[in-house]
Amino acid sequence: AQTVTQSQPEMSVQEAETVTLSCTYDTSENNYYLFWYKQPPSRQMILVIRQEAYKQQNATENRFSVNFQKAAKSFSLKISDSQLGDTAMYFCACGSYQKVTFGTGTKLQVIP
Partner 1 sequence: GAGVSQTPSNKVTEKGKYVELRCDPISGHTALYWYRQSLGQGPEFLIYFQGTGAADDSGLPNDRFFAVRPEGSVSTLKIQRTERGDSAVYLCASSRTSANTGELFFGEGSRLTVL
| CB 90, CB 37: distance < 8 Å | yes
Which of 33, 31, 35, 32 has its CA nearest to residue 21? 35
Q: Is 50 helix (H, G, I), strand (E, B) or coil?
A: strand
State yes or no: residue 42 binds partner 1 (CB under 8 A).
yes
Can you tell me which of 46, 55, 60, 83 binds partner 1, judged by CB under 8 A?
46
- Decide whether 22 or 101 has the Cβ nearer to partner 1: 101
Q: What is the DSSP string of 56-87?
A: -SPPEETTEEEEEETTTTEEEEEE-S--GGG-
How far apart (Å, rounded) are the C-alpha atoms in residues 50 and 28?
19
State yes or no: residue 62 binds partner 1 (CB under 8 A).
no
We find the least distance from the C-beta atom of residue 100 to partner 1, in angstroms, to be: 5
Q: Under rule CB under 8 A, how many of the chain's residues touch partner 1?
A: 26
Stretch that binds partner 1, among 14-22, 36-44, 64-72, 79-87 (CB under 8 A): 36-44
Footprint on this chain of partner 1 (rule: CB under 8 A): 4, 6, 32-33, 35, 37, 42-47, 50, 91, 93, 95-105
